[in-house]
Structure 1
Amino acid sequence: MSSNFLNIQKSKNFKQMKRFLFASLFVLIATIGFAQPFFDLGVKAGVHYSNMSFEGDNDLSSDAITKMHWGAFGRVGVNRLYVQPEVYFSKKGGDLSFNALSGGFDYKNVDVPVLLGYKLVKTPVLDIRVMAGPVFSFVTDADYPDGSDRFNDEFLNDNLFGVQYGLGVDVLFFTLDARMEHAGKVYDDPDFVDGKSTSFMLTLGFKIL
């Protein structure tokens, strides 16, 4: 039953992604007819502070961990409005403690945010931006606390849907973003616990185009 549920959830995630991409594309096409479009391409890297929240076992707690992420971004828009797709590699999770055992629940993933943004301040040198949108994550590997036999890859969701939102600043060719991310259920065991991930991200980027 859990396998069927995961397959249904993956299908829903991809449908949500397609709907948002089509909506973003429609907004861009409608706006391009009235203004000069712009395009940016760059690389980015940063740190994120992630933690896990669990339901189903009151003895299970989690502390935040600090990890790195790196990747690339694009930005297409007109005037103050833009769409920013990204792809980057990251590692998230939390430092767990339960039943006299402790250790990390860490998972590696590829994140693909598709953000809709607006430039609150727009000058030739400085831009201040707000952004929000979905993030689609593909989990590639996971590590569980040492000595625990309660976690199993069968209940690890390898296809996640979440949301990101935050602020950004551009100074010439440099960009700095601060965002929050709320992901869906990373782990979902109906007989044990289900867990979600939350992250705060700081990212520095450099525009190469």
Structure 2
Amino acid sequence: MKKSLLLIVFLFALQFGYAKSDRVNLGLKAGFNTSKIKTDYEQFNDGSVNNFLVGAFARINMNRVYFQPELYFTSKGGELKDVEAGGTESFDLSSIDIPILLGAKIIEKKMYTVRIDAGPVMSFITKKSETDSDETFFDVDDLKDSYMGIQYGVGVDMWILSLDARIENSFGDFSDGSGKEKSKSFLFTLGIRF
């Protein structure tokens, strides 16, 4: 938590240093995501759950290209349905995510800008929970406490508003269990740039 606070203070100081040039923008963002965990076990169908995210970002503008680190708290999760034995198990994950994005402004007009961006994301799991079930076929404690992924998507800026739609995929297996699990999320956020 102290590191997160120091990062936010640093970003605000950076913003004040570049305020006149409009080279660096800071902002707050919030939105929702739909996420699921995909497994290699054939008897399971994966289902998605809807959750939220809230955080901050900094955009360092270099003409049509920009660099955008972000920091946000998000809730993720998933649902596994056992098609052979029946039963469904749901689980929730809370995490602090840090994407480091590189983007390009592909359309720049007076009233709006259309952007594309992509980059790595590091997720630090802060809480794991699953629904109470008589038959537990997935142990949420097997999920790693942190994992890497990639985000990519599109965005639109209008006035001080910043709207983004992205896909996030984890790299490799993010479980220590016997199966291979991957996380996939769709994120939709609305931000305010200062």
Normalized against structure 1, the TM-score is what? Answer: 0.75
Alpha-carbon distance change, 111 to 145 in structure 1, aligned in 2, over 3 angstroms: same
Q: Output the amino acid matched with 2:56.
A: A
Aligned to 2:14: none
- Asked if 1:128 is matched to 2:114, the reply is yes
Matched, 1:64 2:52: no
Unaligned runs of 5+ in 2: 1-20
Deviations 1:112-148 (A, max 9, x none): 0000000011234311101000000001111134224
Superposed CA deviations along residues 146-180 of structure 1, whole A, max 9, x for unmatched, are: 22444446522111100011110000100000111
Structure 1 unmatched ranges of 5 or more: 1-35
Asked if 2 retains the 8 angstrom alpha-carbon contact of 1:37 and 1:78, the reply is no
For 1:140-151, list aligned pairs within 5 A.
140-147=126-133, 148-151=135-138
Q: Distance in 2 between matches of 1:65 and 1:151?
A: 16
Choose from 166, 179, 183 the match for 2:170: 183
**Structure 1 runs of 4+ with >6 Å offset:** none
Retained in 1: the 8 A contact 2:47–2:80?
Answer: yes
- Per the TM alignment, residue 59 of structure 1 is displaced from its structure 2 partner at its CA by 1.6
| Counterpart code for 2:126 | T
d(CA) in 2 for partners of 1:207, 1:124: 16
**Does residue 139 of structure 1 match 2:125?**
yes
Q: What per-residue deviation string (whole Å, max 9, x for no partner) do you get for residues 77-100 of structure 1?
A: 211111000011111121222233
Alignment correspondent of 1:194: 180
Match runs of 1:148-187 below 5 Å: 148-152=135-139, 155-184=142-171, 185-187=173-175
- What is the count of residue pairs matched by the alignment? 170
| Structure 1 CA distance for aligned equivalents of residues 115 and 33 of structure 2 | 20
Residue 44 of structure 1 is matched in structure 2 by: 29
| Counterpart in the other structure of 1:101 | 87
Distance in structure 2 (CA, Å) of the matches to 1:153 and 1:146: 12
Structure 2: distance between partners of 1:109 and 1:176: 22
Letter in 1 for 2:184: T
Counterparts in 2 of 1:151 and 1:96: CA distance versus 1, 3 Å: closer
Contact conserved, 1:96 with 1:145, CA < 8 A, in 2? no
The residue type paired with residue 67 of structure 2 is V
Q: Which amino acid aligns with 1:96?
A: L
Q: Distance in 2 between matches of 1:124 and 1:154?
A: 50
Distance in structure 2 (CA, Å) of the matches to 1:140 and 1:169: 31
- 1:89 is aligned, of 39, 57, 73, to 73
Q: Which one has a larger percent helix, Structure 1 or Structure 2?
A: 1
